[in-house]
């Protein structure tokens, strides 16, 4: 993490009450973590792709070495798809491809973290009652090649087939918990994400007294 840290947030706010609270929390988190952060509100499906490609170009032409990149994608969606402001869909796989080892040389062997706040289906999770050495990615026979996809972490707000909850004033439980943990804790990213998963239970909008404005 000694080099530049870059982040891109693409967020559809229309018909997604509470999104501004999530954007504010993300902005605070990126400042705390000393990221160079860019935000694009209400992208169309095509602009999701275009903004990722612009981000890739910025990374590859950055004046200093880049340590890692965060991409936050927030919109209505379904499994494998995000809905742009224009109501059209873009494939998540197409967005993930933009920063892979083939298309973004500056991020080879560098962490690429994708945060996806979007529904992945129509099912609702009603919850349960509760009582708490360097790896080198090359082959021995062909040391000049590396896999197309490495060092990428995809973090979803919900599991496959289910909606993602969002409070109409306080934002999404997932983004609010993630930004709180990442801003106030230190440690390996997988440990922090485990803490996010546990703490998100206490923010779940299925609890009494909270209103949910809809999925994603």
pLDDT at 136: 39
76 an active-site residue?
A: yes
Q: Which of 68, 76, 104, 167 is catalytic?
A: 76
Q: What are the CA-CA distances from residue 107 to residues 19, 35, 114, 116, 142 (Å)?
A: 29, 15, 14, 20, 21
User: Would strands 81-83 and 89-91 be described as parallel, antiparallel, or unpaired?
Assistant: antiparallel
Residue 191 has pLDDT above 50, yes or no: yes
Among 106, 196, 113, residue whose Cα is nearest residue 153: 113
- Tell me how far apart the alpha carbons of residues 104 and 112 are, in angstroms, rounded to a whole number: 11
Q: What is the pLDDT of residue 86?
A: 97
* pLDDT greater than 70 at residue 209: no
Could you say which of 11, 68, 104, 119 is catalytic? Answer: 119
pLDDT of residue 206: 44
Torsion over CA: 54, 57, 62, 66 (sign): positive
Phi then psi for residue 186, to 5 deg, are -125, 150
Q: How many CA atoms lie within 13 A of 5 on its CB side?
A: 11
**pLDDT at residue 131, rounded to an integer:** 46
Mean predicted confidence (pLDDT) in 23-27: 96
- Tell me which of 93 and 156 has the higher pLDDT: 93
């Amino acid at each position: 993490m000694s080099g530049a840290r870059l982040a891109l947030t693409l967020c559809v706010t229309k018909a997604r009450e509470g999104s501004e609270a999530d954007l504010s929390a993300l902005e605070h988190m990126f400042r705390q973590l000393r990221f160079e952060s860019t935000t694009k509100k209400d992208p169309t499906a095509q602009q999701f792709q275009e903004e990722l490609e612009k981000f890739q170009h910025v990374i590859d032409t950055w004046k200093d070495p880049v340590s890692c990149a965060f991409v936050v994608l927030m919109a209505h969606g379904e499994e494998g798809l995000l809905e742009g402001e224009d109501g059209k869909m873009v494939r998540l796989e197409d967005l993930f491809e933009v920063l892979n080892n083939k298309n973004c040389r500056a991020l080879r062997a560098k962490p690429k973290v994708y945060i996806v706040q979007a529904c992945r289906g129509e099912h609702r999770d009603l919850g349960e009652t509760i009582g708490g050495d360097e790896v080198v990615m090359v082959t021995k026979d062909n040391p000049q090649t590396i896999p197309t996809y490495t060092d990428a972490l995809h973090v979803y707000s919900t599991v496959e087939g289910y909606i993602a909850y969002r409070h109409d004033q306080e934002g999404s439980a997932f983004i609010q918990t993630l930004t709180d943990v990442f801003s106030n804790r230190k440690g390996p990213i997988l440990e922090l994400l485990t803490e996010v998963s546990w703490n998100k239970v206490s923010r779940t909008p299925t609890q009494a007294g909270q209103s949910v404005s809809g999925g994603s």
